[in-house]
Amino acid sequence: MLRGVRHGARLIAVDPRRTSSAEWADIWLGLDVGSDIALANAIARVIIHDGLPDTKFIERSTTGYKEFAKKVEKYTLERAEKETGIPRNAIREVALAYGQARTGMICWTLGITEHHNATDNVLALINLGLLTGKVGRYGCGLNPLRGQNNVQGGGDMGAIPAKLPGFQAIEDPAIHEKFASAWGGADFPLKKGWHLSEMFEGMERGELRSAYIVGENPARSEADQGRAVRLLSGLDHLVVQDIFLTHTAELAHVVLPAGAGWTESEGTVTNSERRVQRVRRALDPPLGARDDIEIICELAARLGVDFGRPTAEEVWDECRSLSPMHAGMKYSRLDELGGIQWPCPDESHPGTQFLHARLWKDPVEGPLAPFSAVDNEPPVDRLTDEFPIRLTTGRRLDSFNTGVQTNEYTSPLRKGAEALVISPEDGANLGIADGECVRVSSRRGSVDVNVSFDRSMRPGLAFMTLHFPDQVATNVLTIDATDPKSGTAEFKASAIRIDRIPASSSLGGESQARPGEGARL
Amino acid sequence: MAELVSITIDGHGVDMAQGSTILEACRFLDIDTPTLCQLDNLTPVNVCRACVVELEGSRVLVPACSRQVEPGMQIQTDTPRVRHSRRLVLELLASSVDMTLTSGQVQGWMQRYQAAPTRFGKVATVAKPVKVDNELYVRDYSRCILCYKCVEACGADAQNTFAIGVAGRGFDAHISTEFEVGLPDSACVYCGNCIGVCPTGALMFKSEYDMRAAGTWDESRQAVTETVCPYCGVGCMLELRVQDNSIVRVTSPLDHSVTSGHLCVKGRFGFEFVQKRGPRG
Amino acid sequence: MAAVDSILGAPEPDDHRVVHGGRAARNQRHQLLPVLHAIQDRRGWVSRGALEYACRRLSIPPAEAYGVVSFYARFASEPHGEVAVHVCDDIVCGLAGVTVPDGARRVPCLGLCDHAPATLTERFGMVYEAVQTSHAAARYPGSRLLRRIDVVDPDSIDSYREHGGFAALKNAREMGPAAVIRAVTESGLLGRGGAAFPTGRKWQSVADQPVRPHYIVCNADESEPGTFKDRVLLEGDPFAVVEGMAIAAYATGSEKGFVYVRDEYPLARARMARAIAQARDKGFLDFDVEVRRGAGAYICGEETALFNSIEGKRGEPRNKPPFPVQAGLFGKPTLPNNVETLVNVLDILNGEFADSRLFCVSGQVLRPGVYEVAMGTPLRALIELAGGVPPGRMLQAVLLGGAAGSFLTPAQIDVPLSFDGVRAIGATLGSGAVMVFDDTADMRQVLLRIARFFRDESCGQCVPCRVGTRRQEEILDRMLGTNGDSRADVMLLSDIAQAMRDASICGLGQTAANAIASGLTQLRVLNG
Ligand SMILES: Cc1cc2nc3c(=O)[nH]c(=O)nc-3n(C[C@H](O)[C@H](O)[C@H](O)COP(=O)(O)O)c2cc1C
Ligand code: SF4
Ligand code: SF4
Ligand code: SF4
Ligand code: FES
Ligand code: FES
């Protein structure tokens, strides 16, 4: 992105915090957490009122424009200013900048998706792309920047409730039949499954009694951690397959030690730009740990099905035979081309750089792109006098998720432990000093943590990461309000209160942040 | 299609796309050209002057790495003048800097141009103590040839962090953080992209530095495997250098479309976790 | 902080909702040197805190800004007293005898060689003050370029106009840009900054560039040891320089101009600033001109290093091509011209041009100073104009063209002072410096001082110059010190010299061995 900036691109950053990326931006908008749709809709309204939509593209390639236009009409600049906290002139300026630009792209990360209305947030951004025809062309597009190396690949391979590999609908009888016959007449449900949050609800209702968890640490990564641990502990049978003895694995009845995908086994992963790339074995796994494929095949054998002993390449070739968009991606071609972007339907196909270029074909290839009329829905965890401060969570450059992997190397960037980052103004109002240990409480629990003042924060906003769950169980505070469409929890918006700790009652003793386990469950 | 430009190098005609450099033309003709400050994924700084060639009509020699081809250029790459300057550049550098850890290619150029750095007698060097101020990588500026590559990789050509720059001037010019502070006090984000581009071993993984100090570094027992970083959706290609079942250095291929050779701290250094899981077999 | 704000204005209060930054902020980068000067002027040094504040205001990474601070000799990164005394110990002052008081700093030529030994004293604080060695008045009868020096009041535009000021600009506007360029081209004027490039051709190239804006830069960095003619013009006839710039800007269609004056010329800088302000007030300037202050780096006289310096960067010369006329200051077409070159343009447009140029005669002559002589005048006549060597002494050598020039022997001083004339004996006129040495001068010390000069002033970018100037000094030092046979060392020096000449990026490295090589062959400094 910065390379683009260096070549003259304008950068607009929208983020409650003035991050280091925002420092590079020509304009930074510090909106209120969870007001993204109000902003997007107001931008759309300006674009429409100033006659900037790409009407030809809208007519030819999209549906639902009228309803969308009617919806955003209600999002006046006045309203958006009230809901986002951003001055109306600035919203207008950004709207014109995006609307008038010949090319432009919108990129986002979890700030858009870790909300109870995550899908709507994304749809609101897609609307902007469609409205101005900034999709499927060079220098345009809508790009979620993925936080793990294979989020895309997991979805592609069918690790979502309604799809089989290659985004083929499990409930489509023809698809179902295709897979069933390829798998020797295997019998598997014709009905879509549950996503993560639904599974936890299922546990709550007692409907889901056993789980097989591969490479996830929900006991630490789920919002409302207390509830997650309680539900996992209550299962009849829990199998965890991981490269570490994670907190989740500690709750398990059976633990299957696995090799690290990226360096102890063979296979492929898919990055955010849909590029399928090879991973290879560089190290022998630790004694006792086995390759994922081997574990699954062994498991199948115990259950009475013989999967044989396929290599990673054989598994992949089977996938290619069933998933048309991967069909052309032989290992040898992946090596040769340094990865291939799907769809790649046959072995002469170079892969696809612009997924939505089809929208510009005349006539349009495939289905038209729908606008979606969506409304702004403020975060579920309301700010009140009792919980007046908005906590948002996130990640730091040198760390990864719950820190199981990254806390093993000594990053000089990690100064001290987890901290609650707040503005100096809030610090002064609350009468606390930089570095002081405070108690942070939400409607779900409390933790003790040191504060750190940061001028990039505005009053009323606080920030924490989830990288050090053993020192500071940030997810004790977060809410598990979940987006019904994607199943993502609202990590980005909790309401909290910050209290000074009377010297005698400190949970942890000295000013080291540590309680975590001692928190109310 | 870019327009083609015809030039002559050492008597061979060659047509190059407009905007190509003389160096690219030399490579096209398989003419080995010494380069110390040039790297395909960095903007040319043309400071080492090892790549100079003779251009007809030019009073001075010109740097092949940055000079673009122009129609009708007549270029010589192996005249006494060219050989003299290349020899002197290598000699002057090696008389002031410890170049023992440079690549075999550089050593080859030293031989080819008969560089004899000791002939200047007893002279000043840039020797200074090794900077070991963090657990990830060390900086031994006694080996620094001031090729500016690390500065570019830290700056606008890759990382855009600008934690290091060139400070001082003349013979005292050196790579430095602001006010010479240690890396932990600087803006450094430990992406290690500077290590990736350093041609002299001045910047080195601490793991490698410690192994060299202990005498256990042994390239004959090392293998390099390409894989993909486990941490984020960018999907950076990693080259893991492994000795005795341990990762000892991580790089990325310069010509890979995702990384152009550059990584972030997690991909570069975040590998410890796989190694701390007990004995391997 | 106050120092920084005095240049940039007070900062906007922290806004937690909208910040306009990015490119707009980064485009302020060129204010870095002015800001650093403001800090240095007030505090006498640049502290980490002050630098970081400046960096925040200007969106400059601190490591890069530190690179800039540590590049320029003027900026101290450690605390310093309230007063700084700079004592010149360069070639000419060396002949006059240098005494360095406690706490004073030795510096290269201050451009006051006609007043050797020279000093510059700075007083830091809220009111900053810099005092040069006092100037004696001198008359320059019959001189074309110097005719207004000590005649006009350099602080009064009215006085300048009474002496024919702005007539040339008026003529230019009547002629139109194309005719102005034609007149300059036809006059045959060659640049006076050292490279002797045809001025008209350069103007034409800039005028022809379709890219906008165009810049003009008046190179008033005059730092070549033994050179002080530009100082005399800037201090004594600043309006003429302004008028010359206005004509050049008009002819080349330049929207903006800079005068880059070396830091050691405080009086010249002040007078230029006043002259620009008055000219603007009186409506003579229809383009924007700014005075920029060097910071103690000879290399910044090299035009591309000078551009980098104005842009707020280390004064590292750029590789050419592209040439300044194509991509110069801020990457735009730029016309760099020397002070004397620009002043000559007035006479061209007034029909008073003659082929003469200024020479700075210094060293062991009775009347050091700036002299204007017709091209082709024998060097001997020029030295006689300056009174010749003191009575009872014999001429030993002349260094023509400054530290980058070459030594002539008494046998060579009948050479005609023209570009071709001196080229015939392997010399150059360079910046017009003529340093005269009589038989009492210790030429070994002179050679060593020259070697030290280049070692100190190399920007350090390219290997042949960075290491070559260092080795040159080391080898010369041991050769001249031991009095032994030094055939091998002479070979080494000549090897280094050739590589510096052939492979260095800029003129500094390319000429850094000239004077020493000519000294070793022309002068009797080696035994055996
Ligand atoms: C090391 C070095 C120092 C220079 N210093 C000066 C200087 O102080 N003043 C100057 O006018 N030109 C100086 N020049 C020459 C300039 O680069 C440039 O050629 C000149 O300003 C062009 O102006 P002119 O065409 O009017 O001569 C220097 C060149 C070099 C290589
Ligand atoms: S540290 Fe390495 S990369 Fe950086 S300038 Fe020195 S030699 Fe070049
Ligand atoms: S190196 Fe950094 S940017 Fe690249 S995939 Fe790994 S985590 Fe992502
Ligand atoms: S020749 Fe010397 S001064 Fe010129 S660029 Fe090279 S190092 Fe710098
Ligand atoms: S490789 Fe061309 S100058 Fe260094
Ligand atoms: S002022 Fe001292 S040598 Fe010029």
What CATH number does residue A190 fall under?
3.40.50.740
Note the pLDDT of residue C281: 96
Cβ–ligand 3 contact at B229 (below 6 Å): yes
Alpha-carbon distance of C1 to A428, in angstroms, equals 24
- CB count within 10 Å of CB C442 equals 12
**Does the structure show a pLDDT above 80 at A496?**
yes
A166-170, A282-286, B103-107, B268-272 — most confident range: B103-107
Distances (CA, A) of C316 to A15, A498, B167, C298: 39, 53, 12, 11
User: Atom 4 (ligand 2): residue with closest C-alpha?
Assistant: B150
Mean per-residue pLDDT of chain C: 94
**Does the structure show a pLDDT above 70 at A303?**
yes
**Does the structure show a pLDDT above 50 at A517?**
no
What SS3 string covers A395-414?
A: CCCCCCCCCCCHHHCCCCCC
Q: What is the CATH number of the domain that holds B150?
A: 2.20.25.90
Residues B118 and B153 in one domain: no
Note the pLDDT of residue A512: 35
C-alpha closest to that of A188 among A266, A305, A279: A305
Note the pLDDT of residue C509: 97
Cβ–ligand 3 contact at B195 (below 6 Å): no
Alpha-carbon distance of C249 to C288, in angstroms, equals 10
If you measure from the C-alpha of residue B199 to the centroid of ligand 2, how many angstroms do you get, rounded to a whole number? 7
* Mean pLDDT, range A418-437, rounded to an integer: 87
Full domain range(s) for residue A499: 389-515
Please answer yes or no on whether A10 and C23 come within 8 Å at the CB atom. Answer: yes
A18 touches chain C (CB under 8 A): yes
> pTM for the full model?
0.88
Residues B254 and B167 in one domain: yes
Alpha-carbon distance of B253 to B240, in angstroms, equals 11
Note the pLDDT of residue A515: 35
For residue B281, tell me if it sits in a domain: no
Alpha-carbon distance of C362 to A62, in angstroms, equals 82
Number of domains forming the structure of chain A: 3
* Mean pLDDT, range B45-67, rounded to an integer: 97
CB–CB of B274/B258 below 8 Å?
Answer: no
Cβ–ligand 6 contact at C429 (below 6 Å): no
pLDDT band with cut points at 50, 70 and 90 for residue A508: very low
Bigger pLDDT: A331 vs C108: C108
Per-residue pLDDT of B153-197, as tens digits, reads 999 888 888 999 999 999 999 999 999 999 999 999 899 999 999
Strand-pair partners of A461: A390
Domains of chain C: 2-71 (no CATH), 83-132 (3.40.30.10), 157-349 (3.40.50.11540), 358-438 (3.10.20.600), 442-528 (1.20.1440.230)
Please answer yes or no on whether B146 and C505 come within 8 Å at the CB atom. Answer: no
Residues A283 and A250 in one domain: yes
- The lowest-confidence range among A342-346, B11-15, C52-56, C345-349 is A342-346
Residues A224 and A288 in one domain: yes
Structural tokens at position B111: 């031989």
Residues A177 and A212 in one domain: yes
Mean per-residue pLDDT of chain B: 92
Looking at residue C86, what DSSP letter applies?
Answer: E
Note the pLDDT of residue A324: 86
Note the pLDDT of residue A112: 80
* Mean pLDDT, range A196-213, rounded to an integer: 90
- The lowest-confidence range among A211-220, C281-290, C440-449 is A211-220
Ramachandran region, residue A303 (left: φ > 0; alpha: ψ -120 to 50; beta: rest): alpha
For residue B237, tell me if it sits in a domain: yes
Note the pLDDT of residue B208: 93
C-alpha closest to that of A409 among B272, B267, B135, B276: B272
Residues A156 and A137 in one domain: no
Point out the residue among B61, B88, B171 whose CB comes nearest to the CB of C466. B171
Establish, for the pair of chains A and C, how many residue pairs have beta carbons separated by less than 8 Å.
Answer: 46
Residues B17 and B51 in one domain: yes
Number of domains forming the structure of chain B: 2
- CB count within 10 Å of CB B6 equals 12
Alpha-carbon distance of A454 to A466, in angstroms, equals 18
Structural tokens at position B98: 């410890």
Specify the DSSP element, H or E, that contains A33. Answer: none
**Does the structure show a pLDDT above 90 at A223?**
no
* Mean pLDDT, range C42-52, rounded to an integer: 94
CB–CB of B117/B91 below 8 Å?
Answer: yes
CB–CB of A54/A60 below 8 Å?
Answer: no
Per-residue pLDDT of B31-40, as tens digits, reads 999 999 999 9
Cβ–ligand 6 contact at C193 (below 6 Å): no
pLDDT band with cut points at 50, 70 and 90 for residue C272: very high
Residues B164 and B71 in one domain: no
Specify the DSSP element, H or E, that contains A143. Answer: strand A141-144
Distances (CA, A) of C72 to A420, B207, C66, C112, C259: 42, 38, 10, 21, 18
Peptide bond into C117 cis (omega under 30): yes
Bigger pLDDT: A160 vs C206: C206
**Does the structure show a pLDDT above 70 at A135?**
yes
* Mean pLDDT, range A34-40, rounded to an integer: 86
Alpha-carbon distance of C473 to C106, in angstroms, equals 18
Index of the ligand 1 atom closest to the CA of residue C507: 31
- The lowest-confidence range among B203-217, C17-31, C95-109 is C17-31
Q: pLDDT over 90 for what percent of chain C?
A: 86
Note the pLDDT of residue A172: 87
Looking at residue C319, what DSSP letter applies?
Answer: P
Bigger pLDDT: C7 vs C368: C368
CB–CB of B136/B195 below 8 Å?
Answer: no
Index of the ligand 6 atom closest to the CA of residue C88: 2
Per-residue pLDDT of A357-394, as tens digits, reads 778 787 777 888 888 888 888 888 888 888 888 888 87
Q: Which residues of C touch B167 (CB under 8 A)?
A: 66-67, 70-71
Bigger pLDDT: C12 vs A331: A331
Note the pLDDT of residue A400: 66
Residues B264 and B149 in one domain: yes
Please answer yes or no on whether C23 and A90 come within 8 Å at the CB atom. Answer: no
Per-residue pLDDT of A44-86, as tens digits, reads 898 888 888 888 888 888 888 888 888 888 888 898 888 888 8
Q: Which residues of A touch B252 (CB under 8 A)?
A: none
**Residues constituting chain A:** 521
- The lowest-confidence range among A81-95, A299-313, A359-373 is A359-373
Q: What is the CATH number of the domain that holds B53?
A: 3.10.20.740
Note the pLDDT of residue B266: 87
Q: pLDDT over 70 for what percent of chain B?
A: 97
Bigger pLDDT: A115 vs B9: B9
A124-133, A419-428, C277-286 — most confident range: C277-286
**Angle of CA points B44, B46, B52, to nearest 5°:** 125
Alpha-carbon distance of A235 to A210, in angstroms, equals 6
pLDDT band with cut points at 50, 70 and 90 for residue C191: very high
- Residue C266 CA to its chain's centroid (Å): 14
Residues B70 and B164 in one domain: no
**Angle of CA points C471, C476, C477, to nearest 5°:** 100
Bigger pLDDT: A306 vs C63: C63
Point out the residue among C14, C17, C59 whose CB comes nearest to the CB of A87. C17
Cβ–ligand 6 contact at C92 (below 6 Å): yes
Note the pLDDT of residue A490: 76
**Does the structure show a pLDDT above 50 at C241?**
yes
Distances (CA, A) of C30 to A227, B164, C7, C211, C313: 57, 20, 12, 20, 8
Instruction: Give which of A27, A82, A83 to mutate to test C binding, by max C Cβ within 10 Å.
Output: A27
Structural tokens at position C264: 């050691």
If you measure from the C-alpha of residue A145 to the centroid of ligand 3, how many angstroms do you get, rounded to a whole number? 11
Note the pLDDT of residue A29: 86
Bigger pLDDT: B75 vs B279: B75
For residue B132, tell me if it sits in a domain: no
* Alpha-helical regions (H) of C323-388: 339-349, 379-385
Chain A: give the shortest CA distance to residue C59, in Å. Answer: 9
- The lowest-confidence range among A328-332, B88-92, C392-396 is A328-332
Note the pLDDT of residue A403: 67
Bigger pLDDT: A232 vs C73: C73
Note the pLDDT of residue B23: 97
Residues A164 and A288 in one domain: yes
Residue C520 half-sphere exposure toward CB, CA atoms < 13 A: 23
* Mean pLDDT, range A133-155, rounded to an integer: 78
What SS3 string covers A37-82?
A: HHHHHHHHHHHHHCCCCCHHHHHHHEECHHHHHHHHHCCCHHHHHH
**Does the structure show a pLDDT above 70 at A147?**
no
**Does the structure show a pLDDT above 60 at C287?**
yes
C-alpha closest to that of C244 among C311, C171, C310: C171
Note the pLDDT of residue C16: 79
Bigger pLDDT: C269 vs C481: C269
Alpha-carbon distance of C355 to C337, in angstroms, equals 18
For residue A363, tell me if it sits in a domain: no
**Does the structure show a pLDDT above 60 at A519?**
no
Cβ–ligand 4 contact at C300 (below 6 Å): no
For residue A357, tell me if it sits in a domain: no
Residues B182 and B207 in one domain: yes
* Mean pLDDT, range B218-231, rounded to an integer: 89
For residue A384, tell me if it sits in a domain: no
Residues A255 and A342 in one domain: yes
Residues B143 and B200 in one domain: yes
**Does the structure show a pLDDT above 60 at C487?**
yes
- CB count within 10 Å of CB B97 equals 23
Full domain range(s) for residue B211: 137-275
For residue B201, tell me if it sits in a domain: yes
* Mean pLDDT, range A93-114, rounded to an integer: 86
* Mean pLDDT, range C115-141, rounded to an integer: 87
Q: What is the CATH number of the domain that holds A12?
A: 3.40.228.10
pLDDT band with cut points at 50, 70 and 90 for residue C261: very high
Mean per-residue pLDDT of chain A: 82
Residues 6+ positions from C98 with CB-CB distance below 8 Å: C87, C88, C89, C106, C117
Q: Which residue has the tokens 């103590």?
A: B129
Structural tokens at position A226: 């207390």
Residues A244 and A202 in one domain: yes
Note the pLDDT of residue A304: 87
Bigger pLDDT: C300 vs A427: C300
The amino acid at A307: F
CB-count exposure of residue A242 (10 Å: 0-12, 13-18, 19+): buried
State phi, psi for A450 to the nearest 5 degrees: -80, 145
Distances (CA, A) of C349 to B69, C171, C183, C252: 40, 7, 7, 15
Note the pLDDT of residue A109: 81
